[in-house]
Structures are given as structure tokens and as C-alpha cells.
């Protein structure tokens, strides 16, 4: 999941450098959503590990 977020972030940076504002904005938005989903899943897995012992 984190790999996909980094991929979309790189796409956003390249698109922004080339002047494609719409594609850059969309890719950055997708990267941000995937990153937050990754963080939520990471926290849930940490809590589950602590509860299991």
C-alpha cells in the first residue's frame, strides 16, 4: 500500500514538473488517500498485536 502511495506521489511530481496540473492534482490526491489508509491499517495492526500479546 505504501508502495502505491509513493508511486502516485512520483507521478504527481513528474506531472507537476511537466505542467499537467490536473493530472498532478489527481495523483497527489490519490497518494494522500492511500498514505492515510496505510497509516490507519498500520495503527490497527499495532493495536491488534498489543492486544494479542
Q: What is the dihedral of CA 12, 13, 15, 18, to 10 degrees?
A: 170
The three cell numbers of residue 9 are 506521489
Cα of 45 vs its chain's centroid, Å: 17
Rounded Cα distance between 53 and 42, Å, is: 17
* Average pLDDT over the chain, rounded to an integer: 88
Rounded Cα distance between 9 and 20, Å, is: 14
Q: What is the dihedral of CA 39, 43, 45, 48, to 10 degrees?
A: -160
Mean of pLDDT values over 27-49: 91
pLDDT for the residue 4 = 82
pLDDT for the residue 52 = 92
pTM: 0.72
Amino acid at each position: 500500500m505504501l508502495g502505491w502511495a509513493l508511486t502516485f506521489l512520483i507521478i504527481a511530481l513528474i506531472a507537476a514538473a511537466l505542467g499537467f496540473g490536473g493530472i498532478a492534482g489527481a495523483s497527489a490526491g490519490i497518494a494522500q488517500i492511500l498514505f492515510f489508509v496505510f497509516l490507519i491499517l498500520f495503527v490497527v495492526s499495532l493495536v491488534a498485536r498489543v492486544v494479542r500479546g
